Amino acid sequence: MSSIHKVATVQFEPTMFEKARNIARLLELCEQAAVAGARLIVTPEMGTTGYCWFDRAEVAPFVETIPGPTTDRFAALAAKHDCYIVVGMPEVDEDGIYFNSAVLIGPEGVVGRHRKTHPYISEPKWAAPGDLHNQVFDTRIGRIALLICMDIHFVETARLMALGGADVICHISNWLAERTPAPYWISRAFENGCYVIESNRWGLERTVQFSGGSCVIAPDGEVTAVRDKGDGFSLAEIDLDLARARRVLGEPVFLQRRPELYPELLTDTFSWNPRDFFGLYGHEPWPEGARSRVSVAQFSPVDSVAANLQQIAAFARRARADGAGLVVFPELAVSGLVDPAGSAQPIPGSITDSLAALATELRIYLVCGMAERAGEAVYNSACLVAPDGQITRYRKTHLTEEERSWATAGDDWSVVDTPVGRIGLLIGHDAAFPEAPRVLALRGCDIIACPAAVKGRFSSPHAGTAVTQPEPIPTGADPHHWHHFRVRAGENNVFLAFANVFDPERGYSGLSGVFGPDTFEFPRREAIVSSGAGLATALVDTTNLDSAYPTNVVRRKDLVSMRMPHSYRGLVRTIANTY
């Protein structure tokens, strides 16, 4: 069986109350795509009916069973052209429950379906949350999974499907409020090393402006086909062998997962008032938080520990002059990148004594990467050094292939309360694993400090051709339209201080930044070092703005509270070595 197949994403503007017209037009577009050679054709969420329904009574005339008359018509087309089609439609089951559904239809008829599990603000007016979690369907053109719109905000959904062997995730949506192709779409493909075929509607419906941008995204995050606006379809080729390699930034990430560290993913710490939850029994209550400034330093460590400490001191003084209360330095900023094991030092020790003296002098918190020697073991570690000299250590838990030649993996997370907020620590490659920052978010972290030495491409400008999109969708050029570590911040409702090495000759691309907790806030609450050595400083607000219930998104964590952990057990299982 060939591993290369042509696929199509269909973009379409349905018209409410004109179901017959919508279905006829979708069939026409799907036939055109099939004639052009597409073996898998994906159409938008609720494409048969439109989306913005008031209530059950209004949508009732348009719901259908699956299988049913609509799926029969698409099945006939799929049989005619020996292809597979994904259709978005409102479904009714035998108990009269309505769902926002996606159905995969092949030459033999209905292959499977997905019911939207994470409702957006509109679905609860008429639909129940889906109950067919995280399925993967085997077909003659590969293993296919389905997600609907809001589902893709949650790292667990696509991760479980990829762990289940999905080559392609077909994501159908009615996406709004953001210029597309949306960064979330790209990150789900990128972090799971699989294809995402995105079919988004466009147009204005009941005052809601939808953003189009239907596309095909490759396992490395490259957008290989995109349609900015209007009805039509775009074609691309997918290679199943690329998806099955499951490599992210050149690393076999599924073999490097640490399921034994992920049991907290099955908890739901934000289901109660989080201010009460994190102070329960008087145990580890949240710090009050503050409005403060946080900096990240971007540079290339050299082979001299003494010279690196001088660079660290110089950047720390600049950050303090900018008003920063916390500054984060790159991975191995003390030890250097060439022979970290040879420069490894104990923690605590003379190096951390020097860092503590600097933190005390400047009255600033420092997060700094270094190689740590503990007996016979060497760790890739990071220290959070407080102005009072206290040291919190974190040992990198997810090691790259190269690091395994000299370092031992850590086996726990590090979280510390400071006046700036509750801070969690990760190091570089850790943040390529969506499970790691999620655990820290579930522990109530306001800020994740991430010293990094990440190589490769994890950022790109807008991939479409349109100069503008309709208001209120944000417009204009953005050289970092997609930045994977900005997505990490937004999906966990945390501030992420990502301090990366900049050394293009060795593949380190920099792009350090302090990223805000709300991905859809424009202008963005962030600061980025676009190139070269430098410092980025941003305002960070971790305060509890309401004494009874958090109104600050970093404390309220909307996207964390809407998770469905009862379906996440597969995240803590060790998968078979099939990648």
Are 230 and 545 in contact, with CB atoms under 8 Å apart? no
Pair type for strands 40-42 and 84-92: parallel
Helix (H) or strand (E) holding 497: strand 495-500
**Which residue matches tokens 């060790």?**
574
Per annotation, catalytic residue among 116, 396, 455, 557: 116
Nearest to 290 by CA among 182, 200, 421, 188: 421
Q: Taking the CA atoms of the chain, what radius of gyration do you get in angstroms?
A: 24
Question: C-alpha angle 464/204/14, rounded to 5°?
Answer: 90
Contacts of 105 (CB under 8 A, 6+ apart): 71, 74, 75, 78, 84, 85, 86, 87, 111
Sign of CA dihedral 526, 222, 147, 572: negative
Catalytic status, residue 116: yes
Length of the chain: 579
Per annotation, catalytic residue among 149, 170, 368, 445: 149
Cis preceding linkage at 346, omega within 30: no
Contacts of 545 (CB under 8 A, 6+ apart): 551, 552
Helix (H) or strand (E) holding 378: strand 377-385
Are 164 and 145 in contact, with CB atoms under 8 Å apart? yes
Q: Extract the tokens encoding 201.
A: 């509607």
d(CA 171, CA 145): 9
DSSP-derived 3-state class of residue 327: strand
Q: Extract the tokens encoding 101.
A: 């559904």
Per annotation, catalytic residue among 13, 19, 45, 170: 45
Sign of CA dihedral 474, 480, 482, 488: negative
DSSP3 helix / strand / coil % (the chain, rounded to 5): 30, 30, 40
Q: Extract the tokens encoding 341.
A: 């094991």
**Phi-psi region for residue 471, left (φ > 0), alpha (ψ -120 to 50) or beta?**
beta
Contacts of 485 (CB under 8 A, 6+ apart): 431, 450, 458, 496, 498, 513, 515
Which residues participate in catalysis according to the annotation?
Answer: 45, 116, 149
